[in-house]
Amino acid sequence: MQIQENISLLPHNTFLMDVSARYWAEYGSVEELRDLLRRFADMPNLFIGQGSNLLFTKDYDGIILHSAMARARAVKETRDEVHIEAQSGLVLDQLIEQLCDMNLYGLENLSHIPGETGAAAVQNVGAYGVEAKDAISEVQALDTTTLQPCTLTNAACRFGYRDSVFKHEATGRYVITSVTFRLSKKPVYHLDYGNLRDALPATPSPTDIRNAVIRIRQSKLPEVSQTGSAGSFFKNPVVAEETADKLLSKHPAMPYYKQTDGIKIPAAWLIEQAGCKGMKSGDAEVYEHQPLVIVNRGNATPEDVMTLAQSIQEKVKEFSGIELQREVIYI
C-alpha cells in the first residue's frame, strides 16, 4: 500500500492538468482497499485508472485511490470460449495484446484505447462497432456499504452507450476489483465500422485486427503520452428519425447509423460542419485530425478546456439543433 500527501496529479491524468490531490493511495489487494476505505471513511474519495476520460477542474480535496492489482487469469474454458478474469488495475491495451496473442476474439476492436480494465467497465468503452459490454460476463466488486466482495452480472451492470450503473445510482457504492470477459476461440468479426475491413486480409486473426485498429487510431488521434487529451470529448448523439431526416434534407451527405433506439450521427461530423475546426481557447484546441478531440497544446487550464467545450456545444446546437453530451467527466 502506498499513501502520499499533497501530490501533483500531472502524471495521473492524460489531459495533463497540473492540479493536486490532498491524498493519493494505491492498493495492491482487496484487503488493502478495505483498510483504506476504513481509514479515510470521512473524506471524499475518487477511484481512477489512468485518468484518461476525465478533466480535473481544480485541486481535489480528498483521497484519490488507484488499483495496483494488475493480473489476469483464465477461470473457465469450454470448447468454444475462454473466460478471463482481469484485475481492475491492468492496462486494457496490455490485456487485449495478451488475448490476441492467445488467438482469442472479442476485444481486439478496442485496441489502443487508453485506460485500465476497471475503468473500461465503468465507462463501457467502445470503438469500431464493439463495446466492452459485448464481452463482459460479470464484474467483481467491493461493496463499500458492507466492505464485502460481490459479483454483478452483465445485466446488473446496466450497460449503455458509454454508460453503466457505476456512473449513476451505484456511484460510490461499488469499487470494481476485476472484470471477467467471455472470449471466443473461433473467429467472430466486427469489421463493418469505418474503413476497418478494407485494412484487413480476408480471414484476419485477432492480431491482424488489433494492428489495423492501432494504425487507424494513430492516424486520427493524438498519442496521450505526447499530447494532452481525454480522447473523444463528446458522445455520438442518437436522435429520433424525424430529426435525422430534417438534417439529411439539408445535408444529404451526412453520415448516419441506424440503431435500435434511433439514428446515430457522428459527433465529429457535426462539430466540423458547425465550423469548429481550428477553434481554440487559450492553449486548448480542437484537434486538427479529429474534431471530436480537444487537446492541450502545452499550458491549457481547465477553464480553457471547459470554455472551448461549451463553445463547441453551442455552435453544434445552432447548426443542427442537437445538444452534444460530454463523454469526459468533470471532476
**Residues identified as active-site:** 162, 232, 327
Q: Which cell numbers hold the place of 315?
A: 455552435
Of 182, 198, 147, 2, the closest CA to residue 75 belongs to 182
Backbone phi and psi for residue 301, each to the nearest 5 degrees, phi listed first: -95, 165
Of 66, 46, 68, 42, the closest CA to residue 56 belongs to 46
| Residue 167, SS3 per DSSP | helix
C-alpha to C-alpha distance for 255 and 251, rounded to whole angstroms: 9
- The distance between the two most distant Cα atoms of the chain, rounded to a whole number of Å, is 60
Task: Identify the residue whose cell numbers are 463501457.
Answer: 124
Are the CB atoms for 181 and 82 separated by under 8 Å? Answer: no
C-alpha to C-alpha distance for 92 and 99, rounded to whole angstroms: 11
| Residue 105, SS3 per DSSP | strand
Task: Identify the residue whose cell numbers are 458522445.
Answer: 235
Tallying the residues shown for the chain, one arrives at 331
Amino acid in position 116:
E
Of 34, 21, 68, 35, the closest CA to residue 49 belongs to 68
C-alpha to C-alpha distance for 47 and 58, rounded to whole angstroms: 16
| Bridge partners of residue 232, in order along the sequence | 293
Are the CB atoms for 286 and 279 separated by under 8 Å? Answer: yes
Q: How does DSSP assign 90-108, residue by residue?
A: SBHHHHHHHHHHTT-BSSG
C-alpha to C-alpha distance for 265 and 236, rounded to whole angstroms: 6
